[in-house]
Structure formats: structure tokens, C-alpha cells
Structure 1
Amino acid sequence: MEPVAHPPSLIGQEARYLVARLARATGLYRYLLSGPRPGAPSRSIADPWLGDPALGRAIASGRYIFAGTTQTPQGSPWEVADAPPGWLREAHGFSWLRDLAAAGSSGDDSARSAQALVGLWLDWDATKKPGADRIAWSAAVTGRRVRAWLNHWSMLIGGESGTLGPEILNSLGRQVRHLDLIAGAEGDGEERLTAILGLVQASLMVPAFHPRLSRAVGLMERELTYSILPDGCHATRSPRLQFEVMRDLVGLRELFSELQAEVPICLVTAIDRMAPVLRFFRHGDGGLALFHDTREGVSADIDGVLGRADAKGRAPARCPHGGFERLVSGKLNIIVDAGAPPGAPYDSHAHAAPLAMEVSYGTERLIVNCGASKVIDGDWAKAQRSTAAHSTIGVEDTNADEISNDGRIGRRRASTVVERNETDGAVWIDMSHDGYLKPFGVTHRRRLYLAPEGTDLRGEDRLEGTEGRTFTLRFHLHPKVQVSLLSNHSAALLKTPSGSGWRLRVSGAEMSLADSIYLGGPQDTKRTQQILLTGVTGPEGASVKWALQRETKR
């Protein structure tokens, strides 16, 4: 099981994928997936990450809460009609086995439930043509399912009820041969890596697949080269995926070590580069900043991944390749999206939010973006990606980046320019984007200044260009922040649960309050408020100056 010295040819993998697509279209795919039944994994391992007992108990009771949607079928969950695609992807991925394992009052209870559900899946799959279901047999879902089965192998075949051995091994063989044909060529963004990691883990753990390991590691090396930017930011620019991909890589590195196999250098390097950026994306409460399909997450889970990563790099002040800036002074922390949206195939999670920012003080969040709904299919999925769902400026109620019907960023995408200076503890950042230049003839420029004492943040948002364009500058507030406008409507008072007060002073726009929705916390949606600063560009454009300063207690 020697690691490869060079990644496999991209042309070779694409050729394998084309053969697979042709075979699937002509009904010959079963012959490509056929082969001898593989033996069992060389040893059983424990899932490196803990599940959610509450979700596991729901599964055991017949309530399947996947992708923010609950289904309660009377029979097999694999026969649910009209289930949303996101629910199906999560169901067929079997990552919920860790929730089931965490929920059982005894190992036998978990094993019986898991074996029953896997048995029903095997029966369902047997009624289909091999690899025919486009969700269940997509590259990413297959890779996730293979890893889940291997991580819970003893639970799936052990105990008095363990009768799935031959069937599950036959299915595992077909799935790994399927991954061998399509991994690295099918899927968008992080999905490519998910499929490859499934192939790597199977090739590492199952002796019959050991000959595939060298090529699988080569695919992983190539994908990590593309998807992890030079500064360590994941190419999707999503803090959530920064965490999830790093968690997968840390777990795989531990597996190599546990099996006494040489850990690929690309795996070690990727983890070491990603860890500082994951720290970069955290607010003082330990959760993640809400950019690009991200929720706060669980602080303890993030701590666990960083601790086991054993990467000592500190959070940088900026991620120039990822396109993020961080201003920190005292307890005040500002994170700004100062980059352009990612290109294909990494743009399916991107939000139209150039120059959006979040502000926290200590463990309390003040100014936020709306975040990402747990329900990944539906109205919120589109609304949360809009410019209006972020703390930045919008022009003519239009997104700064075009979001196409297929979920990707369209032809109209903003490009950005950033200049940063630091002197005597103070930080200045001057940023601009041209997302509104083509449709409306204006450029957005945002300047931020953070004073050394960490209680004074000042900004200016300018629109330069065509006269007569309406604009709205939004500051979405965390649900725990109370806000009131002062009598002249040129200032607002923000109050946090700890009693800390902040005054937002504004000139150059009309200030008002409006309802907003927060999608970043444990609850899927929580009502909150936003401060709106509205106006119309004049002959010299528009300039909105503002200052956020902490009130001194008397």
C-alpha cells in the first residue's frame, strides 16, 4: 500500500468516467460493477466523530429528520414518495448511522435498527438497475455511504441479528467499483472530494481493494491541490465546508495511522493549511461566521476537529486567496467577505454578498448575515443567497452577483479590489466591487477603520457612478441584540444580553428598522431585526458614513 508519487492522469480518469456513462446509458453497467465478493475489512474501527443522540432516537422511532425535513413513512424509508432531493441525499448517504449509534441504550438496540434499515436499503437497491438511481448512486452519496458502512461495520454485521454479511459485502464491492470509475470526475465542489475519500477509505480497509489505493490517493492529491487554495481556504469559500472537509481529512489521517499505513503528505499538508483558516472564521462564541451556506455550528465540535488536527498555526489577519479580511482589536472582531465568488465547480454554495461583514464583541454577535436554513430545498435556499440577506449594500433590489436557475453564479459576477493598512494597532481596509457596474453603472466601495482600543469601528459605503439609483445598506442584527432608533433617526442604540451598549451613528442615508430572519442558530428560523439605510445616488454618487462605538457605562 505505497502512496503514489504523482497524481493519476486527468485524461485517464475522464476516459474511465466516459466509459461508465456510456455503460449506464446502454444497460451494460452491471458488467462493469460485477466481480468477486470482497472479504470483510481488515479490522473494525470506530466512527471518529460522535453523532446526535436525539436524531438517532428519532430514526429508531421511524422519524427521519434529514436536511431539515422530517419524513415519517409507514414502511420502508427508501420508498418515500416525493421526498425532497436534499432529504434523499442525506438518507442514502447513511452518515446518520453515527446518530443511531449514539442513541442506543445498548449496542444491540442500535445494531438492530441499523441492520434493519441497511437491509431495507439492500432490498430497495436490488429492484433497481445497478447504479441507476441518480441520487443514491451519485459519486458523493456513494462515497459517503461507503465510509459510513465501514465506520460502523461491527454494528452492521455483529450481534444476534447480524445476518447481512454476504449481502452487504456484495453491495460494497459494487459501490467501490462504481467509485473507481467515477470518483474525481463527477460532482461539484466538495462532492468530488467526498467521493474520492470513500474510495480511499475502502481501498485502505478492505484487502481486496488494496490495489486501488495508490490511484485513489493520487486522485485525492489532485483534488486537494484544486480545492484547497494557497492560503488554506476551501475553494467554495464556505466556513461550513472548511470545517466539514477538514473534519473528513482529520478522520482519514487518523485511519491511516491506526492501520499503520504511511499517511499521504497531501493529507498532512492540507490539514496544516486549513486549520488556521478555520480559526479565522470563528467568532468569540466559538461558532462560525455566516458566509456562503454556513450556520454557526457547534463550538465543541469545531474545538474537537482543531484539537485532533494538531495544527498549531494561528488565525491569519487575512485570507488573500480566499478573499476574506479580519479586523481584531481587543474584544471586537470583524470578518469581511472581500473576495469574488468562486468559479465552477465550487460556486453552488456561493452567496451574492460582496463586501458583506459580521461584527462580534467578545462572545456576543452584533451585526450578522442571515445564514443558511437547515431546509436545503425550498424558498429559503434561494432567499438566503441574496444580497439583501447580508450586511452590505444592495442597488435597485438586485443581487450583486447573478445566481442562475441551476444554482451556480452566472455570467454577471463581481470582481473585487482590496487594500489593507495597519499602523499602531489601528486597521484600515479599502475595498470595492463592480457587481453593479454593468446593470446600473455604479461601483460599491466600502472603507473600514478599526481603532486600537477595540471599541470604535467606523465605515463609509460609497456608490460611485450613475445618478438616480436607489440603494439599501443593511445591518442585520443578531436575535439577542435589542435595537431602538433615537429621536432624530440618525443613530440607533444596540443592547446585548450582557448589558453592553453600542451606538450606531449614520449620515448620508435615511435610517429605519425592519424585520429580518436569522438562519444561523440552533433553531431553523428566528425572528430578528435589521437596520436599513436607504437613499438614491446623486450627481456624485452616494456616500453613507457610519460609526459603531461602544457606550461607556456611567
Structure 2
Amino acid sequence: MTTTTPRPYGFTRPPEPRSLGSALRGHEILGGKLPLTGAMVEGDPFAVTDLTPAQAAELHGFGWLDDLAAVGSAKARDLAQMRVLAWIAAHPKPSAAADSPVWRADVTGRRVLRWLFHAGQILPGLDRDTAQPVFDSLHAQLSVLERVGMLEGAARVEALSARAMAAMLLKGAEGAAQAALDDLASDVETSIRRRVMRGRCPEALLSCLSQLAWVGATAKDMGRDIPEQIASVIEEIAPVLRALRHADGGLPRFHGGGRGPAGRLDHSLRAATGPSIVAPGHAMGFARLSRSRSTVMLDAAAPPAGPAAAHAHASTLAIEFTSARHPIVVNCGAGGMFGPAWARASRATACHSTLSLTGLSSAKLLPPDEHGSERLTLLPQKVWAGQCDDEGNLMPPDAPAPSPREGQPILSGHDAWQGTHGLTCLRELYLSADGDELRGEDTLAALDIESQGRLEQILTNMPDGIGYDIRFHLHPDVDAIPDGDAIRLILPGKEEWYFSHDMIAEQRLEPSAYLESGQSAPQPTTQIVLSHRLTAQAVRIGWTFMRAGAS
């Protein structure tokens, strides 16, 4: 009879709990309900059989251990320990089942990291014999992480980072630590610079920074030198994420990403050892306006194409607007984990805070076919954004930035509908020096003779004109109340803003949805909609958000 030799027992040093969770979600889990993105699981979550592959990946990645750790009670520790030991009993060895994400390398990496971070939850009270299966499983999972296969981008970084962490921390694996660090170092340029940065998803970039920072901190604790490539990428990512940081510490929710776990952005930025600089220009294709306690993020580039197109959104010229700790204007977010209908709808321009022709997005985004081959993606050919002068003219890229004591203007545009309608879309924004006023003007216009001829042909067949809408999706915590011709916006803490417009368009409030990872269902919210019809060669709509009491 063959017996299995147990793997080495213990850690080279006690792991640190580095990831952050939500105590609110942790208490939900203790109450018998595990919120996954698009589902609320009751009872034993591993007994549920009708999860989507994405939800199964979320469950088996054990990210929810962060939430139990945030509670920090004995009951939370007991539940974490029970769930981990039950999972090990049900999955005694890695499986290559093609229809299951359980042993996919990035999911395995996420699980290994959480088990390492929360070993202080999982192991207390267990004697050596009872704890041995935990270490056996961690070593077995480390072997999975040595084969990252076809993973790309942030998923690949997650798997390689977990491999490096586990090799440094597990007794008996130390000999593989340097090779794991070297493999991660040799991969970061391709995975991050060529995949994540081009994918234009800020949350994916934050995920990479967090994992590299964890690797760097662990290496430092172990007395190891972190490879230069890893340190260099950390110093390159940090200024980009500083440029993308909203006033409340969250990220803009574009191209398949969310705002990021609360506090993780600032926590991860502290891992960067270089000067606290902000990337110049348009970081990842986003333009930033920032004055006093207010920030505006503008999607100032075309959606990503190629492999990243599967997660791209038709969000060109969409904005997000935050005052201090409270988001005001948002985008609906990524709907992929809320079912096929939300996956399609959330990518449309109408689910973003910008102008769209009625029933027509600014880009047509097609994911790869069933064989993985790329399909045609129709994108704006020209997108531009930059400072503008007092007369609204675009200034050269090397023009000096306005003084912090002055307001901040930006002029942007795209040609997505020039080929079909002869129309160019322009968006001009101005954030006042005190951050108390955000003004905007949205313009549709046929700018040259050829475009004007194309538009005239269309208007001949459409005597009522071309319908279009300007949408401002509001954060769920914002209460919108009609107030005469304006809309009063009440934020948490009773801070108030007013939305007004130039009365050219029809104004109304409509239902909307807020989609964020970890929510069991889309969260209802409200959107402001300005509707009008284009019947001439150009039309301009002006609008304003102003803090109550501002002059």
C-alpha cells in the first residue's frame, strides 16, 4: 500500500494579513448569506451547484475571507477555519477539469494568497495533525501556480505573484522562491505594460499594484532583494493610479472595472518608494480635472481593441464626478457577472454619463468568437482632449497647466458618428477653482462640407430630426429631487448640489442601476437625462452642477 508523504509543515515566517475586507459583508456571511457578484448564496456556499463560472471563481478564490477577517471575532475565525478545512476535504488534489474554474491558475493564486494572509484565522486551535492538510494543500496549489498557461494581463500577474509569495513563505518551498520572483519579474512588462495598461481598466491596474506590493513587502521581510523589473513597474504604476484617484479614494469605473476595495488604492500607493508624483497627461487615456475637494474623470480615448475588447465599454467622453468623499456622477459599471443581458447593456454608451444618439452607441464592441479569434470592432477613429483657451480653442499639449488658483477647462471630442451621420461630438468641461461648480457644454455638429452633405441626406428622411440624450447616472447614495427647473442633489452628510441646464433640452429623471463586484444584484439608482433632437447642422446643450451656497 502506497502512502503519501506529508509536505513540510509551517511557514518560514508568520504571514501578514495584507488584503482589506468589509466588516459589513463579513457580518452578512456570519448570518448565513454569502454575497457574490450577481448572487446571494445561503447556507453552505460550496454545496451550491448553479453558479456561473465567474461566480464559482469568486467563491473558490476565497476573497470573502477578507470580509471575515475584517469582523475579527471568534465566530468569524471559526467559520473561516471550517470553510477552508471543508474545501480541502472536498478537493484533496488539483484537477484539470475543463468545465471548472476551481483550479484555474489565477483563481488558485487568489485562494493561496487569502489562505496565507489569513493563516491567523485558519490555523489557531488546530493541532499539528489537523493543520497538516492545510500545508499539504498549499504546496499542491503551489505546483498549480507553476503552470500559468494562456493567462494574460492581471490574471497572469495574480497567479505569478501568488506563486512567489507562497514559495517565500512555505517551509520546504524556499528553494523555488528566487525562480518564482525571476519569472514574475520577466513577465511584468508584457502582462502590465502591454496588456493591462492597454486594456484601460483602472481596477485591473490597481490589482497588479497591490499584488506586486505584497510580493515586495514579503521579500523585504524575508531579507530578499526584489528584482529590479518589479520595483521599476511599481514605480511606473503608482503615478498612473494617483492620476486616476478620485477625491474619495476610489477609481473611475471604466472598461470592466469597479472603484476597487475601500482603502486598497491608498494602501497600495504607500508601497511605492519613489516620489509621490502624478502621471502627466492622460493616464491610461483618462483626463482628470481636480480642484479643491472635487475631481472629474473623463474617458478621453477610444475603447481598447484586440484581446481587451471583450471588456471594453463604449464610454468615450463619459465622465465621473466626485465631491470629497461622495461620488455624484458615475457610470453604471460592469455587468458581466450579472447575466448576459446586463453584460450587453452595461457596455452601451447609454449606461455611461455622456451623450449618445438614441439607440446608437459611440462604438460597436464584439468579443472574440467561440474559437478565440478577434472579430471586427468599430471604434471612433479620432478622439481628442486637452486644455482650451477662453474662446474654447484647443491648446497645444505642451501648454502650461493653469494655476491651482484658476479654474480648469478641457475640450474633448470624437468622430464616432461622422461616417454614419456626418456628426462630430464635442464636450467642453470647466471645473471652478474652488471645486464648487462643474460646467459642461455638449455639442453635435457637422464640421465640414462633406459631413454637412451627409447630415442633410439623413435629415431629409428624418423630418423630426435625430434624437439624442445626455445622461448623468447618479451614485445610489445621492437623492435627486426636482426643484423647479433644476434638480436638487442631496449627498450623504446632507451636502447639497444643484443640477441645471440651459433649457434647450427636455429634462427628466429616470431609473438607472449601479453595478459593482460583490453585489448580489444591481443596485437601483437614478439618472438625469437631457433629451433633444438635432434638426440643423449643429446644436449645443449647456449644463451645470453647483454646490448649494456657492456664489
Q: Structure 2 residue aligned with 1:473, among 447, 470, 475?
A: 470
Q: 1:442 aligns with which of 414, 423, 442?
A: 423
Tell which deviates more after alignment, 471-480 or 435-444.
435-444
Which of these residues, 463, 480, 484, is aligned with residue 482 of structure 1? 480
- 1:261 deviation in Å? 0.9
Per the alignment, do residues 69 and 494 of structure 1 end up closer, same or farther by CA in structure 2, a change over 3 Å counting? same
**Distance (Å, rounded) in 1 between the aligned partners of 2:541 and 2:125:** 67
Task: Tell me by how many angstroms 1:58 deviates.
Answer: 4.6
Quick one: structure 1 residues 206 and 452, their matched pair in 2 at CA, closer, same or farther if it must change by over 3 Å? closer
What code does the residue aligned with 1:342 have? P
Q: Deviations over 1:327-359 (max 9, x none)?
A: 223444321010222244444433220110122
State the Cα distance separating 1:389 from its structure 2 match.
Answer: 1.2
- 2:498 matches 1:502: yes
Q: 2:294–2:321: 8 Å Cα contact kept in structure 1?
A: yes
Q: Who is 1:459 aligned against? A: 441
User: SS where residue 274 of structure 1 aligns?
Assistant: helix
Q: How many matched pairs?
A: 509
- Give unpaired runs (5+ residues) of structure 2: 388-400, 460-465
Give the aligned partner of residue 53 of structure 2.
85
Q: TM-score, length-normalised on structure 1?
A: 0.79
Paired with 1:254 and 1:66, the residues of 2 have a C-alpha distance of 30
Query: Does residue 369 in structure 1 map to residue 331 in structure 2?
Result: yes
Specify which of 255, 260, 263 is matched with residue 223 of structure 2. Answer: 260
Q: 1:336 aligns with which of 298, 317, 324?
A: 298
User: Which residue is equivalent to 1:32?
Assistant: none
1:99 maps to 67
Give the whole-Å Cα distance in 1 for the aligned partners of 2:474 and 2:24: 30
- The residue correspondences of 1:531-550 to structure 2 (distance < 5 A) are 531-538=528-535, 540-549=537-546
CA-to-aligned-CA distance 1:260-319 (integer Å, 9 cap, x gap):
111222332233232333333333333333333444456544433333545542434642
Distance 1:167 1:440, change over 3 A: farther
- Report deviation, 1:540: 1.8
Q: Secondary structure at the match of 1:180?
A: coil
Equivalent residue letter for 1:392:
T
Tell me the distance in 2 between the aligned counterparts of 1:539 and 1:369: 30
- Counterpart among 13, 18, 21 of residue 43 in structure 1: 13
Distance (whole Å) between structure 2 residues aligned to residue 234 and residue 310 of structure 1: 21
Structure 2 Cα separation of the partners of residues 447 and 476 of structure 1: 18
What is the Cα deviation at residue 88 of structure 1? 1.0
In structure 2, how many angstroms separate the alpha carbons of the residues matched to 1:233 and 1:130?
27
CA distance in 2, matches of 1:115, 1:296: 30
**Given the superposition, is the C-alpha separation of residues 423 and 60 from structure 1 closer, same or farther in structure 2, using an over 3 Å criterion?**
closer
**TM-aligned CA distance change 1:553 to 1:147, over 3 Å:** closer
Whichever residue aligns with residue 329 of structure 1, its letter is R
Aligned pair 1:291/2:254, yes or no? yes
CA distance in 2, matches of 1:123, 1:366: 47
Give the SS at the match of 2:232.
helix
Residue among 347, 353, 358 paired with 1:385: 347
Distance 1:343 1:36 in 2: 49
RMSD: 3.7
What are the ranges of 5 or more consecutive residues in structure 1 without an aligned counterpart?
1-34
Q: Distance in 2 between matches of 1:55 and 1:551?
A: 34
In 2: Cα distance, 1:443 partner to 1:111 partner = 58
Question: Residue 506 of structure 1 aligns to which amino acid in structure 2?
Answer: D
C-alpha contact 1:53 1:99 (8 A) present in aligned 2 = yes
Distance 1:104 1:426 in 2: 46
Instruction: Summarize the Cα distance change of 1:167–1:133 in structure 2 as closer, same or farther, 3 Å threshold.
Output: farther
CA distance in 2, matches of 1:478, 1:439: 33
Q: How big is the shift at 1:226?
A: 3.1
Change (3 A) 1:65 1:534: closer
1:82 Cα deviation after fit: 1.1
Instruction: Classify the secondary structure of the residue corresponding to 2:91.
Output: helix
Q: Sequence identity of aligned pairs in percent?
A: 27
Q: Does 1:352 align with 2:314?
A: yes
Paired residue type of 1:253: G
Equivalent position of 1:313 in the other structure: 276
Structure 1: how far apart are the matches of 2:481 and 2:517? 19
